[in-house]
A and B are shown apart, each in its own frame.
Chain A
C-alpha cells in the first residue's frame, strides 16, 4: 500500500520568501506529525494533529511557521519569510490512532534550502 508521501522532494528558495510543504499521510491514519532535521542534528518535533482535535503546536520554532490539516488528511506546513536557519529536511509522519503508542510512519521528507 501507499506510504506517507511528501512534496516537493527538494525546495530551494530565497531568503524572505514563503514556502509550502505538503504531506499526504497513509489513508486511515488519524495522527499526523511534522518534524525537521537540521544538518548534524536529530529529528525535532514541530507539530501534531490528531483527528479533529486542536493541533499541538508546541514544537514550532517561531510564528513564521504554521500548519494546517484539511479534512483530516493532507497537511501543509507553511514557512513565511524564510531564513537561512530554516534550511533542513522536513519530515512528515502518520500513525493509526492515539491512546497507546502507535508506530509513526515517516515520509521521505522535503529538503528545504534557503539561500
Chain B
C-alpha cells in the first residue's frame, strides 16, 4: 500500500514555462515533506522541504505548496530550465514516530523533461 503517490510518471514542459509536480499522501501522521531531484547514474539530491505547520516554502525558482486537508503537495518550478530535466521524488516523514522518525517514505518519482 503506497503511502506517497506521484501519479504522473512523466511531464514535459517548454523552457521558461512553469512545471508543476504533484504528490499525494495517505498517512495523516506525516509532518514533514521533501522533494529530491535525481539525475541518471547519480543519487537523489535534496531540493526543498516543508513542515506541516506551513503551507508554502519558497527557494528561488522552486516553491512547494502543502494542502494538509487534501493530503496533497506540489512542487512548482518557474521558470523551467533544460537543466531541471530529471526525476523528482516526493518523500514524507513522521518526525514523531520514535524509532521510525528518520525513515523517508518515497513516491515513485516523476520524470520532468524541459524542452528548449
Q: Chain A: residues with CB nearer than 8 A to chain B?
A: 4, 9, 31, 33, 35, 40-45, 48, 50, 56, 58-59, 91, 93, 95, 98, 100-101, 103-109
Contacts and interface: CB of A to CB of B under 8 A. Distances in A.
A43 B46 contact: no
A104 B41 contact: no
B106 A59 contact: no
B64 interface: no
A95 B104 CA distance: 13
Interface stretch (B10-18, B54-62, B69-77, B94-102): B94-102
Contact of A101 (B6, B95, B109): B95
Contacts of A9: 41
A27 B91 CA distance: 25
B32 interface: yes
